[in-house]
Structure formats: structure tokens, C-alpha cells
Copies of this chain bind each other. A is one copy, B any other.
Amino acid sequence: MTSIISNLNKVFDSRIRLGIMSVLSVNEGADFNTLKELLEITDGNLASHLKALENIHYIQSRKQFIGRKPNTKYEITELGRNCFKEHLDALEKLMN
């Protein structure tokens, strides 16, 4: 319960989810293809991680059309930003 690693968020054990959150916490929003190119993963893999983050409300998506092309934009939520920050703080504390 109070081990040295207990403040690390299990969601962010995944490098991919870490990367997604990092991108979304810096840039205010990124679309599916941008994330796919930044992370260099298959679309199915990306979609599943995005869904996981959205299910726990760390991110939210908005579907729209740019010109005539469908486009899905993702952004970090307030909850997501807080949890991400807590994780980074825990990491920092772990490392001294």
C-alpha cells in the first residue's frame, strides 16, 4: 500500500500510453494519424490504447470532417492531466 512504487500509475506502465499522454499534454490535441506517425505503430494497436485511455476518461475524442475527410481529434482531459502529473511526480520521487 505504501511501497516505493505504489504511486506509479499502472496505466502508464505502457510506453505507448505514456507516449500518447506526453504528446497530448504538450500539444493541445492531436489527431489519429499524427499519433500514428509519431508512435510508429499499427492503427489497430493505437486504437486500442486510445480506447483504453478514453474508457478511463484520461482523454476524449472528437470526430469531425476536415474538408471532406473524416478526422478524429484526441485531447487530454483534466483528470488525465492530473493523473499524468501525479505519475511523473511519483517517478521523479522514485529517482530522487
Contact = CB atoms under 8 A, between A and B. Distances in A.
Interface residue tally on A, bucketed by range: 20 to 34
A94 B6 contact: no
B91 A39 contact: no
Number of copies: 2
B4 A38 contact: yes
Contacts of A4: 19, 22-23, 38-39
Nearest to A14: B13
B39 A5 contact: yes
B94 A39 contact: no
A94 B84 CA distance: 13
A4 B94 CA distance: 23
Nearest to A23: B4
